[in-house]
Amino acid sequence: MQSLRESLAKISVLDTLDADSFERLQPHTLIKRYRKDEIVISEGDCLSPQLYALIEGSLQVWKTAINGKETLVRIIASGEIFAAPAIFGDGIAPATVRCQTDSIVLTIEREALLETIRDQPEVALRIIEVFNQRLQHLHNTLHGLISERAIVRIVRLIQYYANRYGTQAVEGGDCLNLHLPYAQIARSIGITYEECLRLMKTIQSAVVYQRGGKIIIKDWQKLEEIAS
């Protein structure tokens, strides 16, 4: 099993800290394991003042509308932080965080984190940068839901995850490092599963979809032309 120090080093906003900083954070750090589909945070929960980070697995962030409809807001990958209001804001969870796979979540007490920030202010800048990117993504998603056709929203979602989590070269093109099943795509852009299935078939000249949500981009230029 990996040490607490190794776990802390996996967090993207903290990976530049020195050994002494990691040592001071360890007594204020807690690690908890979750099973697939288990809820880590429920929308409306009162959050403890701490930094939340995923060090292994994958999490989904869901937002529930007044009518009860759930929308998949984003995916949280290993090394990422989440639940911003726990350290900046009113401490109320704005969405539900659910495990997409078996996962390990690490938390750091807020006061200990602030002490680290006082010693190394660049940590705060990295945290703010992450949450600012999240806000920008939400803004773009909202704009797309209001003004763009569904096929364009699908393309932009694929492009976003390709840029955010990267791709790897495979036979036939570039494969997303993150799987995107049909149901996940549909809920992310506000369409039905059936419409998603139909639209994905219309972009087969640029994208190959394989079982389980494996997506291979065959032609980046053609994919952009579809969106344009």
Digit-coded pLDDT (tens) for 92-142: 998 999 999 999 999 999 999 999 999 999 998 899 888 888 777 776 666
DSSP string, 52-90: EEEEESEEEEEEE-TTS-EEEEEEEETT-EE-GGGTSSS
The whole-angstrom separation of Cα 140 and Cα 83 is: 20
Residue 76 has pLDDT above 50, yes or no: yes
pLDDT of residue 188: 84
Q: CATH 1.10.10.10 occupies which residues in the chain?
A: 149-227
**Whole-number average pLDDT of the chain:** 89
The CATH number, out of the four listed (3.40.718.10, 3.90.79.10, 3.30.420.10, 1.10.10.10), of the domain defined by the range 149-227: 1.10.10.10
Lowest mean pLDDT among 32-41, 51-60, 181-190: 181-190
pLDDT (0 to 100) of residue 1: 46
- Every domain range in the chain assigned CATH 2.60.120.10: 4-144
Residue 143: is its pLDDT beyond 70?
A: no
Domain 4-144 belongs in CATH node 2.60.120.10: yes
Query: Is residue 47 a contact partner of residue 91, using CB atoms and an 8 Å limit?
Result: yes
Question: Do the Cβ atoms of 154 and 196 come closer than 8 Å?
Answer: yes
State mean pLDDT over 143-155. Answer: 79
> In the predicted model, what is the mean pLDDT of residues 87-94?
87
- The answer to whether residue 51 scores a pLDDT higher than 90 is yes
Instruction: Judge contact between 203 and 225, C-beta under 8 A.
Output: no
Per-residue pLDDT band at 70 (split at 50, 70, 90) = confident
pLDDT at 5: 84
3-state class of 26 per DSSP? helix
Residue 68 pLDDT grade (very low, low, confident, very high; cuts 50, 70, 90): confident
Reported pTM: 0.71
Q: CA angle, 80 as apex, 78 and 84 as ends, to 5°?
A: 145
